[in-house]
Chains A and B, each alone.
Chain A
Amino acid sequence: MGYEIYRIEKDRARFRDIVRGRLREDLKKYLSSTDLLGQRAGRTISIPVPQIELPRLRFGENQGQGVGQGPGEEGAVVDGDGQNGEGAGAAGEDQGQHMLEVEVEIDELAEMLAAELELPNIEPRGTKQLLSEGGRYTGLRNQGPRSLRHFRRTFKRALTRTIAEGNWDPAEPRVVPIKDDERFRMRRTAPLPESSAVILHMMDVSGSMGKEQKEIVRIQAFWIDTWLRSQYKNIEVVYIVHDAVAKIVDSEEFFHLRESGGTKISSAYELALELIQTKYRPDQWNIYPFHYSDGDNWSARDTSHCISLLRDELLPRVNQFCYGQVKSAYGSGQFKKDLEQALGSTENLISAAVDGRDEIAESIRAFLGRGR
C-alpha cells in the first residue's frame, strides 16, 4: 500500500499545526512549568500535550463504578489503569491516557518564545575577521591519498575484520589491511566564529538553594538554551556549580545536585574566567555566562572580589553577563544590590530578581531582550 502514508502525513501535519497553535496560546504556562525539561533530543523537543477532545456526552460523577473481573474480597483494591494487556488487542476506543507527545523544532519553539516575549534577534558582535577556510584534519573518509592514511583507524578495522573472519592467530599476529579497511583523514572547515556560542550556567548550590529554587533555575536555563540554540549554529553549554568551591558538572548533576555549606561566588567566576581564557576564547566564541544564586555570599570581601573580576576580566570578554537572583527563604538578596551599586551602569551586565515561577518569563525577557 503505502499511499495512506502520504495521506496520513497530511492529517498528522494538520494536527501538529493545531497543537502548535495551542502551544503558542499556552506558552505562558510552559514558561513556568517543568513539563518541557529533559524533552530535547537533538534539535527537536517533544512536548506533552493533552489530546484535543471534542465535547461529548459523558456520564458524570455518580458513574464511578463499573464491572471488573478477577479474584478479590469485597473492599480489595483493584488495578484499574485501563491499559490493554499484551495480546491481540485491536485499537481500543479509550485506551491509554489522553496525553500525546508532539515534536517541535527548537527553532520553532524559540520563535514562539520570541513572539511571546518580544525578543529581538541577536546582532552579530562586532565584525570579526573571517577565520581562514583552512580548517583542521579532524574528519575521516574512506578514500584519499596515501599520505593522509589514518594508520590507527585502518589497522583497527583490519584487525576487527581479521578476527571476524577467524584468521587471527595470536601466535603469529599478522594483520593485512585491504582496501575496505583503509581510512583517510579529511579536512573539516572550522565553524565561523559568528556562529559559535558558549553558555556558561553557574549555579549556587549552597544549603539555602532549595528544590523550588533549583526548579526555577532549571526552567530558566531551558528557555535560555532554547533561545540561544536558535540563534547560533554551534553551541556548547557548560554547567558550573559552586558553594565555597566551584566545579564543572554535567547537566544531570547541575539540576539535581544539592550541596551544602558556604557560598563563595568568586570561585565560580574564576572558573568561568579560566574556561574563557583557555577553551572558549572571545575571538572565537560568543560567550554567555549566567549566574543563578539566592544572593547570599560568604563575605563582603568576596563580593568585592567578584565585582572586580566582573569589571576587569569577565565583562570585557563576554557578550553579556546575566545574574538571576532566585528568592529563597534564607537568602538575603544582598549580592544583587551590591552588584547593581558597583556595576549598575555597565551595558552588558543584566541582573534580575525572580521571586517565583510567575516571574520566570519576565527574567528571561530581561536577559534576552537586548539582542546582544
Chain B
Amino acid sequence: MVRTPNLSARLKREAQRAEDAARAAGLDFFEVLFEILDARDLNAVAAYGGFPRRYASWRFGMDFERLHKGYSYGLSKIYELVINNDPTIAYLVRSNSLMEQKLVMAHVFGHADFFKHNVWFAPTNRRMVQAMESNAERIKQISADEGQDNLDRMLDRALCLEGLLDPYLPLQGPRASESVGRIDHARASFEAVLDGRPVRPPEPTRLAGSILPTYDCLAFLIEHAPLEVWQREVLRVVRDESYYFMPQRQTKIMNEGWASFWHSRLLTGGLLDGSEIIDFADCHSGATAAQAGQLNPYKLGIELFRHADRLGHDLFRLRKIHNDASFIDELVDEEFALENELFIYRDNPKGGGRQVADRDWKTVKQQLLSSLSWAGQPRIQLQEVDPEGALVLVHMHDGRDLVLQEAGQLISNLAHLWGAPVHLLSLDQGQGKRVTAGEAGVSVADCELAVERCGGSASPGERGDSKRQAG
C-alpha cells in the first residue's frame, strides 16, 4: 500500500496502479512514500541530496542557487527525486502533467527495487533520513560550540578528502564502513542506568579501513590524527555520508537504465491511456536521447538492459550483482557498440571541440571501464607513515595523470589535519613525481621511487582484478 501524504486522489490511484503493475512485473521494494513538491522546494531538497534535512553548509546553498537559477532560466528541470531509504522516499514535482507523473512513478519503483536489491546498496544505512537528521543536529551543536567559521573550515577540509575512500570497503563486512559501536554503547548504557548498574566507558572501536595500507584516508585520520573530538566528529559525518552516496555514483548507469527500462515497460504495458502515448514517447525519448559528445546514463543503461534481455540474461540477477563497471564488462560487445554507435572522442588538437577518434569496440569498452572503475576516482592508497612522521600517499597510476597542482592543494588540507607533512607519489607523463605539502607550502619534485611504486597498476590486468572484486 502506497502511503501518500499529500497526493491528490487521482495521483494516489495512479500510484497504486503503478505499484501493482510493478509488483506484478516482479519488482520488489520497500514501502514507497510519494510527496509532491513545488519546483522551488524540490530544488531545495535536491540541493540537500534528496534529504529533508542536512547540516548547515554554504555548499548546499550554492547547489540550490545553481539548481534554482537553472530552473528559473528554463535550462534544467528536475522531474523526480528518489532517496535510498526504508521507506523509500520519492518527490514529484507539482508542475508535471498526469502522464509525466505516471512515468515518474513507474520510474521510481524501478529505482526503489534497485536500491533494495543491488548488492552495492546492501551495506547502506536504510535509516539515512534519521541519520542525516542526527548528523545535522550534531554539526549544529559543533557550530554553536566552535563557531561557524571554524566549523566551515573543518568541513571544507574534510569534504576535500571525500575522494580518498575505498569503494570496496563497505562490501567487506557488515557495516565495515560505518562508525560502529556508538549506538550499541548508548543502548547498553541506557539499560545499565535503568538496571542501576554502573555505566562503563565506551570500548574504543577501530574503524575498518584505518589499518595501513588503506584507501580509506578518512578512517585513518579519525583513528590516528591528533584531532579534537569535534573535528573527528566532522570527519565521521563526512565519511558516513560519503559512503552512503558512494553506490549511487558506482551504479548511475545501471540504476537509471533499470528505472527507465521498467517505466517504459510498465507504461506501455497498460498504465498509459491511449491518448497519452505520443506525449509519453516524446518525454521518454527526451530522457533517453543520445548526445554525440557525452554519454547519457539513461540511454546507455536502458540499452544495456535491453541488450541483456535479447541475449537471454536474467535481468533481475544482473541488477543484483553488478555495478556500472562490471555490468559494462559483462555486456558490452561488438554488436552493442556498433548498434549504439559508441565511439571514443578526443579533444581536437587544432582546437574547435572534440572529434570522433576511434570506433573500435574494444578500445571503447576499455575507455568506459577505466572511466568507471574505482567509482570514477583516481585510486590513491595511503601506504605508510614514514620515519619523519609524514604520510605517504601513492597514486595507483592507470595511464591517466593527475592534476598535480590541485592534488597539492588537497593534500595540504590533509597535512593540516595530520599535523605533519604529506607526500603524494604520482606519475606525470611517465616521470615520477613527489608532491609534498607541509608547513612550507606545496612543492613538486621529481622522484625516481614513484615510478616503481605508482606504475604497477597501469596494465589492464589490474582492472581484471578490480572486476573480480566487483563481481
Give A contacts to B, CB under 8 Å: 1-5, 7-8, 10-18, 51-52, 54-91, 93, 95-96, 100-102
- A67 with B292: in contact, given A2-B41, A18-B58 (CB under 8 Å)? no
Is the CB–CB distance between B58 and A8 below 8 Å? Answer: no
Is the CB–CB distance between A69 and B300 below 8 Å? Answer: yes
Contacts of A75 in B (CB 8 A): 355-357
Question: Could you tell me the distance in whole angstroms from the C-beta of A166 to the nearest C-beta in chain B?
Answer: 33
Contacts of A63 in B (CB 8 A): 400-401
- A69 with B291: in contact, given A10-B56, A57-B410, A58-B406 (CB under 8 Å)? yes
In the complex, residue of chain A having the shortest beta-carbon distance to the beta carbon of B148: A14
Is the CB–CB distance between B299 and A88 below 8 Å? Answer: no
Contacts of A55 in B (CB 8 A): 160, 406-407, 409-410, 413
B141 within 8 A of A: no
A32–B46 alpha-carbon span in the complex (Å): 37
Give B contacts to A, CB under 8 Å: 35, 37, 40-41, 44-48, 52-53, 56-62, 64-67, 69-70, 75-81, 103-104, 107, 148, 156, 159-160, 162-164, 249, 256, 283, 285-296, 298-300, 340-348, 352-359, 364, 367-368, 371, 377-378, 380, 399-404, 406-407, 409-410, 413, 429
Q: Give which listed residue, B286, B292, B341, contacts A79 with CB less than 8 A.
A: B292
- A67 with B356: in contact, given A14-B56, A54-B159, A56-B406 (CB under 8 Å)? no
Shortest 10 CB-CB distances between A and B: which pairs? A80-B293, A87-B286, A11-B61, A87-B287, A15-B61, A70-B292, A12-B61, A55-B409, A88-B287, A78-B292
Is the CB–CB distance between B404 and A60 below 8 Å? Answer: yes
Is the CB–CB distance between A100 and B66 below 8 Å? Answer: yes
Question: Could you tell me the distance in whole angstroms from the C-beta of A6 to the nearest C-beta in chain B?
Answer: 9
A13–B65 alpha-carbon span in the complex (Å): 10
Is the CB–CB distance between B79 and A88 below 8 Å? Answer: yes
Contacts of B352 in A (CB 8 A): 77
Is the CB–CB distance between B296 and A85 below 8 Å? Answer: yes
Contacts of A4 in B (CB 8 A): 41, 44-45, 48, 52-53
Is the CB–CB distance between B402 and A78 below 8 Å? Answer: no
- A54 with B344: in contact, given A68-B295, A75-B355, A96-B75 (CB under 8 Å)? no
Is the CB–CB distance between B62 and A52 below 8 Å? Answer: yes
Is the CB–CB distance between B61 and A67 below 8 Å? Answer: no
Q: Give which listed residue, B41, B67, B299, contacts A1 with CB less than 8 A.
A: B41
Is the CB–CB distance between A13 and B61 below 8 Å? Answer: yes
Is the CB–CB distance between A15 and B65 below 8 Å? Answer: yes
Is the CB–CB distance between A102 and B65 below 8 Å? Answer: yes
Is the CB–CB distance between B41 and A74 below 8 Å? Answer: no
Contacts of B61 in A (CB 8 A): 8, 10-16
Contacts of B59 in A (CB 8 A): 11, 15
Is the CB–CB distance between B78 and A90 below 8 Å? Answer: yes
Is the CB–CB distance between A1 and B52 below 8 Å? Answer: yes
Q: Give which listed residue, A8, A58, A100, contacts B48 with CB less than 8 A.
A: A8
Question: Could you tell me the distance in whole angstroms from the C-beta of A293 to the nearest C-beta in chain B?
Answer: 39
Is the CB–CB distance between A77 and B354 below 8 Å? Answer: yes
Is the CB–CB distance between B291 and A70 below 8 Å? Answer: yes
Contacts of B76 in A (CB 8 A): 84, 89, 91, 95-96
Would you mind naming 9 contact pairs between A and B with Cβ atoms under 8 Å apart? A4-B44, A11-B61, A14-B56, A55-B409, A68-B342, A72-B343, A79-B353, A87-B288, A87-B289
Q: Give which listed residue, B299, B300, B344, B401, contacts A59 with CB less than 8 A.
A: B401
Is the CB–CB distance between B371 and A66 below 8 Å? Answer: yes
Is the CB–CB distance between B64 and A12 below 8 Å? Answer: yes
Contacts of B368 in A (CB 8 A): 67
Is the CB–CB distance between B355 and A90 below 8 Å? Answer: no
Is the CB–CB distance between A80 and B345 below 8 Å? Answer: yes
Most central of A10, A66, A81, A95 by chain B CB within 10 Å: A66
Is the CB–CB distance between B345 and A78 below 8 Å? Answer: yes
- A67 with B69: in contact, given A59-B402, A80-B353, A87-B283 (CB under 8 Å)? no
Is the CB–CB distance between B70 and A96 below 8 Å? Answer: yes
Is the CB–CB distance between A88 and B104 below 8 Å? Answer: yes
Question: Could you tell me the distance in whole angstroms from the C-beta of B434 to the nearest C-beta in chain A?
Answer: 16
A80–B378 alpha-carbon span in the complex (Å): 23
- A74 with B56: in contact, given A67-B343, A69-B340, A100-B66 (CB under 8 Å)? no
Is the CB–CB distance between B35 and A66 below 8 Å? Answer: no
Is the CB–CB distance between A68 and B287 below 8 Å? Answer: no
Most central of A1, A14, A63 by chain B CB within 10 Å: A1
A51–B67 alpha-carbon span in the complex (Å): 13
Contacts of A64 in B (CB 8 A): 346-347
A166–B368 alpha-carbon span in the complex (Å): 66
In the complex, residue of chain A having the shortest beta-carbon distance to the beta carbon of B408: A55
Is the CB–CB distance between A8 and B47 below 8 Å? Answer: yes
Is the CB–CB distance between B64 and A69 below 8 Å? Answer: no
A1–B91 alpha-carbon span in the complex (Å): 11
A82–B293 alpha-carbon span in the complex (Å): 7
Contacts of A52 in B (CB 8 A): 58, 62
Contacts of B399 in A (CB 8 A): 62
Q: Give which listed residue, A17, A58, A67, A79, contacts B367 with CB less than 8 A.
A: A67
Is the CB–CB distance between B407 and A57 below 8 Å? Answer: yes
Given contact pairs A55-B409, A65-B357, a sample of 4 additional A-B residue pairs in the complex whose CB atoms are under 8 Å apart: A4-B41, A7-B53, A69-B343, A90-B256
Q: Give which listed residue, B58, B148, B343, contacts A15 with CB less than 8 A.
A: B58
Question: Could you tell me the distance in whole angstroms from the C-beta of A62 to the nearest C-beta in chain B?
Answer: 5
- A70 with B344: in contact, given A4-B41, A102-B65 (CB under 8 Å)? no
Is the CB–CB distance between B378 and A59 below 8 Å? Answer: yes
A101–B292 alpha-carbon span in the complex (Å): 29
Question: Could you tell me the distance in whole angstroms from the C-beta of B258 to the nearest C-beta in chain A?
Answer: 14
In the complex, residue of chain A having the shortest beta-carbon distance to the beta carbon of B136: A7
In the complex, residue of chain B having the shortest beta-carbon distance to the beta carbon of A90: B78
A55–B75 alpha-carbon span in the complex (Å): 27
Question: Could you tell me the distance in whole angstroms from the C-beta of A72 to the nearest C-beta in chain B?
Answer: 5
Contacts of A72 in B (CB 8 A): 292, 343, 356
Most central of A4, A60, A70, A102 by chain B CB within 10 Å: A4
Contacts of B164 in A (CB 8 A): 57
